[in-house]
Structure 1
């Protein structure tokens, strides 16, 4: 039995399964405003509002992976592992992470 409902108002709630190491490495060099923006997106993922609040682009090359455009210059890549579990795959500048037009990773 669990104290937390899996859905609130019909919206699935997701919990982070892995990726804290990715978050910790990124946070060491990130500014406070970028940290705040990313944490807000992570909370939106947990409460189910991420897909309504942020622009999300499918990674067509990796099944179940999505790019979340957190800010103009910040992207988080996540992997949906099930009905209520996700991983943080990558966090970084938008220019080095995804092409907003195609949704595909940029190459060097």
Structure 2
């Protein structure tokens, strides 16, 4: 058996309001304050939640800005979108438990 968390049926639409950019200060390993930039966007076609993160690094010796960019495209799974794939691979949902005040659920999965 396997337990797998997924979003409740109506929850992915709640991500639509989560779009924009924010900057958060943080301290690097050297104790210097820097900014971390986060851009997020909801894509209903997946549905996906996309996040791009830029963190500053120690300036180069010539003073130019250096940093790291990470882009994440996270698939937002619900039971309805996941169950066909489980069935195709010989698995079945044998139990469900709501969590996060009903915003998500944990599926218990076993071989069919």
**TM above 0.5:** no
TM-score tier by shorter-chain length is under 0.3
Higher helix share: 1
TM-score with structure 1 setting the length: 0.24
Q: Which has the higher strand share?
A: 2
Larger radius of gyration: 2
